[in-house]
Chain A
Amino acid sequence: MSDDMTAATGTTIGDTSRGTAADALRRADDLGMRTRQASRWYVRYMAVFGVGFGLMTLLLGLGPQDATGVVWWTVAVLVVWGLFVAAMVLWAVRRPVQGILCGRNYVPGWVGTGALYAAALFGGLGRDLPVWAWVLMALVVPVPLVAYAVRVHRSLA
């Protein structure tokens, strides 16, 4: 195999004809598309984190309300959350393709869910809210992150 001929393109493009140009273009577009598809894991990552934030809201809101119980419950839930976050981040950094769509373009999703989560906890904890109120907040908190997950999914389709 000559230096200008590769398994990846299958053609020599040093002397570019219409046919070899079209072939090189097609293969490059295919590689780009497959690489973007390989960054789809970020959709699952955002969706799972969104559901996790919702579950955290529910667990903290429906936990014991007495002074001693709330401390232990909160610590226990936060430890589980910390382990969950660590596992998710470790999984994410090991993905072979870190997509160009990841992170910065989807900050509003993270900020939105984070703000709703904080508002739910600061506004709800210690106020003896009914169960339905916590269930409602647990359903609302993930919405921004899940919405952006759907957006990523559609952009990669």
Chain B
Amino acid sequence: MSAVLELRAVSVRRGGRAILSDVSLSVAPGEVLGLVGPNGAGKTTLLRAALGLQPRASGEVRLGGRSLESLGERERAAIAGYLPQERRVAWNMPARDIAALGAASLPPKEGHAIADACLAELEIGDLAGRGVLDMSGGERARVLLARLLATRAKLLIADEPAAGLDPEAQLLILERLRRRAFDGAAVIVTSHDLGLAARACDRLAVLHGGELRALAAPEAALSSQVLAEVFGLEGELIQSPAGLTLAARRLPFSASR
């Protein structure tokens, strides 16, 4: 099947410095791609460049088989939904209304029905009427993810959707994103939890200093060499009954930093 998102040699520069150098990758429907890398590796920049929020120095982005620049705002929104890392909400709106913003192009009644379904999917259906600022950080993260799910876009991009959540919630969120991929969406997530990413994603893209260091199935992408050179870790991914787990310790003299 043809790719939903395709990056061809994309570079981004800011203040004379290369933030992203020559990155090429593609994501197909039904696939979950994990984007991993240390802080400052360019993960968020890559996502923003893929969505047209970040000007490129060079390279091409194709969304849904068409050049990003040829898409109107509405067409782009129908193809790609984005959940930024920033979880600030300006006003204390009810969870249902926030989630329904994902389906704002639909009549309010349908939008609210979809919002309710997405909140229930994330097991916070009982909080639909509560103001988001009266919620815990974890609950708010789920409400914002419900908004992303409510877009029903072909490509769902979530920047650190599980960061700061308890382990059960992290697994739930990635499971729900996987289910969307199973239903035919393409999914991209970033994560600092390498074990979680390895377990939940079909492929991992490893970014380091703006360069794509590996793009492969989790075991191959997070090889001992990559773990050492990119993350400064000594260890490996091991197969456990619950799935892939990372067993690693910090390298004594971190060669990568």
Do chains A and B stick together as partners?
no
Using CB atoms and an 8 Å cutoff, list the residues of chain A in contact with chain B: none
